[in-house]
Structure 1
Amino acid sequence: MYRARDQVENEEWIEAIEDAAETLDLTETATSRATDVFLTNVPDEDRSKQAILAASIYVGALVAGDQRSQGQVAEATDVSRLTVQQHWKELLETAGFDAPDW
């Protein structure tokens, strides 16, 4: 879980999640889940935050039943599809879900 302070300290990243979610036409639930996943897993280094942001959006959409492809999420967040692919399973498991084997 995250603290309220995490939300304040990462306001620009939350805005980036909301912008990408709007681009992807995600539901409010998916956007909220993505934000929760991101804030629970915020990396210390700024250079890693974009990757975690993208994977969080993918996971949030997946959990909310509003799934988008890794490629769509990557394009909306300006990362490579491989970046999303490398991070999403760990974030999904951190959120308490079992990652599929596909």
Structure 2
Amino acid sequence: MYRASDEVQNEEWLARLRRAAESLDLSGEARSNATDLFLSHVPEAERSKPAMAAAALYAGALIAGDERSQTRVADAMEVTRLSVQQHWKDILEDAGFSPPTW
């Protein structure tokens, strides 16, 4: 869980997440999921925040059934696909979901 102050401290990243979600035409549910997941997993290091935000966006879309490819999400968030790939499963599991096993 996160605190309200986390939203204020991470407004820049939340704005980037919203812009990326809009460019991917994600549902409101996917956007809300991504925001909650990101704020629940905000890393301390600034350099780690882009990858975590991208992974949260990907995972949030999966939860909502509004799936996009890792590559599209990574491009929208301006990170590498590997950044998304390395973090999304952990985020889902921490939130109580079982990652798909395609």
CA distance in 2, matches of 1:84, 1:42: 14
The answer to whether the aligner puts 1:85 opposite 2:95 as a matched pair is no
Sequence identity percentage: 59
SS at match of 1:33: helix
Question: Normalised by the size of structure 1, how large is the TM-score?
Answer: 0.97
Tell me the residue number matched to 1:44.
Answer: 44
Q: How far off is 1:99 after superposition?
A: 1.4
Tell me the residue number matched to 1:18.
Answer: 18
SS at match of 1:20: helix
Runs of 4+ in 1 over 3 A off after TM superposition: none
CA distance in 2, matches of 1:14, 1:86: 20
Q: How far off is 1:10 after superposition?
A: 0.6
Tell me the residue number matched to 1:101.
Answer: 101
Tell me the residue number matched to 2:72.
Answer: 72
Mind listing any 5+ residue stretches in structure 2 that lack a counterpart? none
Mind listing any 5+ residue stretches in structure 1 that lack a counterpart? none
CA distance in 2, matches of 1:8, 1:75: 25
CA distance in 1, matches of 2:9, 2:47: 16
CA RMSD of aligned residues (A): 0.7
Report the count of equivalent residues.
102
